[in-house]
């Protein structure tokens, strides 16, 4: 991925709180999707928008072919190098290969700018949650555990970290309290194996991260209503009104 010539402005889809804004949630989509796309998907699964009285939800869109005017084009190796809306590149969809750390770090910077915007608007770091689906969940773990260990929590749906992830090293070197991790994963997921998600959770827990892991029987690589309802409840425990 080519280096950005300046700050990267991420397009985003917003869901405003129904009352006074006192907390923020950044929800990252999976590969090939968009902020609007995952918001629409959630709305279809729940039959309504995911909304909170006090929490603003931010759905950013990763760099891709539709936003190259503002961003950098992002080739994706698993798609034979074609341009796609992805948070970072992967050498392959597997947990036993090196991470494409350069592209991950570029997006950590862009998403950190988004967090900084919320802080400048008056939201404290410990009132911000970061998470996502699939690649978005992986990106959220990198962003939180390597760059923003003082946020309220992290969630990762159908996601995993590579075996030698830089996240594990950052957690090992941490001396303070780390954000709690909430994970859900379908047992029938054939793209991101359930065992990869389980291994990620076990490794982080062994390094001192407080974790929750929910297995979803017979669920594939998809969002699920029960999963989103569990997530909603967890969000309210981490960001009470």
Span 24-81, pLDDT tens digits: 999 999 998 999 999 999 999 999 999 999 999 999 999 764 333 333 445 444 344 4
Residue 196: its H or E element? helix 194-206
189 is catalytic: yes
Eight-state DSSP code of residue 99: B
Q: Give the residue numbers spanning the domain of 85.
A: 12-238
Give mean pLDDT, residues 203-227: 97
Q: What is the DSSP annotation of 23-58?
A: EEEEEE--TT--HHHHHHHHHHHHTS----SSEEEE
> Would you say residue 191 has pLDDT above 60?
yes
Backbone angles phi, psi at 173, to 5 degrees: -85, -5
* CA-to-CA separations, 201 to 17, 33, 155, 197, 204, in angstroms, rounded: 31, 25, 11, 6, 5
Please report whether residue 17 resides in a domain.
yes
202 is catalytic: no
Please report whether residue 3 resides in a domain.
no
Write the pLDDT tens digit of every residue in 122-168.
999 999 999 999 999 999 999 999 999 999 999 999 999 999 999 99
34 is catalytic: no
Q: Which residues pair with 154 in a beta bridge?
A: 130, 181
Eight-state DSSP code of residue 87: S
DSSP H helical ranges for 88-179: 101-120, 135-147, 166-172
Q: Which residues pair with 185 in a beta bridge?
A: 215
Report the chain's mean pLDDT, rounded to a whole number. Answer: 89
Tokens of 222: 């998809």
CA-CA-CA-CA torsion sign (32, 57, 100, 204): negative
Write the pLDDT tens digit of every residue in 92-105.
788 888 898 998 99
Please report whether residue 4 resides in a domain.
no
pLDDT on residue 96 = 86
Eight-state DSSP code of residue 13: E
Please report whether residue 2 resides in a domain.
no
Please report whether residue 5 resides in a domain.
no
pLDDT on residue 93 = 81
Cα dihedral value 103, 104, 108, 111, nearest 10 = 80
Q: Which of 134, 158, 159, 165 is catalytic?
A: 134
For residues 176 and 79, the model is more confident at 176
Which CATH number do you get for residue 149?
3.40.50.1820
Report the number of distinct structural domains present in the chain.
1
pLDDT on residue 76 = 46
Give mean pLDDT, residues 201-227: 97
Q: Which of 22, 142, 189, 194 is catalytic?
A: 189
> Would you say residue 115 has pLDDT above 60?
yes
> Would you say residue 210 has pLDDT above 50?
yes
Q: For tokens 């350069």, what's the residue?
A: 102
């Amino acid at each position: 991925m080519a280096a950005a010539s300046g700050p990267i402005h991420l397009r985003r889809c917003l869901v405003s709180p129904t009352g006074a804004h006192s907390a923020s949630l950044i929800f990252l989509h999976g590969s090939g999707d968009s902020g609007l796309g995952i918001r629409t998907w959630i709305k279809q699964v729940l039959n309504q928008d995911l909304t909170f009285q006090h929490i603003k939800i931010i759905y950013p869109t990763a760099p891709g072919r539709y936003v190259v005017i503002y961003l950098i084009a992002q080739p994706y190796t698993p798609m034979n190098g074609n341009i796609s809306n992805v948070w970072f590149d992967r050498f392959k969809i597997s947990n036993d290969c090196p991470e494409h750390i350069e592209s991950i770090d570029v997006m950590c910077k862009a998403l950190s700018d988004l967090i900084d915007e919320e802080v400048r608007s008056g939201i404290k770091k410990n009132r911000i949650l970061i998470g996502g689906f699939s690649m978005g969940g992986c990106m959220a773990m990198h962003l939180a555990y390597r760059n923003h260990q003082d946020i309220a929590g992290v969630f990762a749906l159908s996601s995993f970290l590579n075996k030698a992830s830089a996240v594990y090293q950052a957690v090992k070197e941490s001396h303070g309290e780390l954000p709690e991790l909430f994970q859900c994963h379908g047992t029938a997921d054939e793209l991101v194996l359930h065992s990869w998600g389980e291994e990620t959770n076990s490794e982080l827990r062994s390094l001192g991260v407080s974790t929750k892991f929910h297995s979803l029987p017979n669920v594939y690589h998809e969002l699920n209503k029960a999963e989103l309802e569990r997530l909603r409840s967890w969000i309210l425990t981490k960001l009470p009104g």
